[in-house]
Amino acid sequence: MEEYLQEALEIAKAQASVRNMTEDEISSMVATVAKKVKEISEETQGQQQEQQEPVKQEPAVDPQKSVREKSVVCLECGKTFKVLSKRHLEKHGLSPQQYKEKWGLKKNQALIAKSLARERRKKMQEMQLWKRRQNTK
């Protein structure tokens, strides 16, 4: 006897022990419950097969063009940011290293808008912290 039919019989037996049921009610219940259990079983098997087959995810834009002048596009969700933070990447279950590997970016690629990187670089040059550190020694 098929597993889903056996489960339907057990459910009908439990129901019949709680209240009086006619033969027609029992057979109707067994048929409908068996059908539903079979459908659910097939759905879960289909989902398991889908999970086993890795889905090739398409990037939101070309990975080499994701770092733009005024923004960075997250290749996972397509949202734009000035800085693609570690915190955002964690929402996708990735570290910055894993993200770069997944999308074929260089390991030293900054995940920051080009204009913002230039501004920060200029600010650091103006501050010259390395000279201040030498003077304090």
Q: 74 near 81, Cβ under 8 Å?
A: yes
DSSP state of 59: P
Residue 108 to residue 100: CA distance in whole angstroms: 9
**Where along the chain do its domains lie?**
3-52, 63-136
The predicted model scores a pTM of 0.53
Helix, strand, or coil here: 73? strand
Res 4 pLDDT > 80: no
Per-residue model confidence as pLDDT tens digits over 7-40: 888 888 888 888 888 888 888 888 888 888 888 8
Residue 63 to residue 102: CA distance in whole angstroms: 10
In which band, very low, low, confident or very high, does the pLDDT at 44 lie, cut at 50, 70 and 90?
confident
pLDDT, position 55: 57
Res 133 pLDDT > 80: no
pLDDT, position 33: 86
Domain 63-136 fold is: Arc Repressor Mutant, subunit A (1.10.10)
pLDDT, position 137: 62
Which of 26-30, 83-87, 111-115, 121-125 is predicted least confidently?
26-30
Q: 104 near 59, Cβ under 8 Å?
A: no
Q: Which of 19, 28, 23, 20 is nearest to 8 (CA)?
A: 28
Res 45 pLDDT > 90: no
Q: Which of 47, 32, 41 is nearest to 3 (CA)?
A: 41
Per-residue model confidence as pLDDT tens digits over 51-103: 655 556 777 788 888 999 999 999 998 899 999 999 999 999 999 999 999 99
Residue 46 to residue 77: CA distance in whole angstroms: 26
pLDDT, position 108: 92
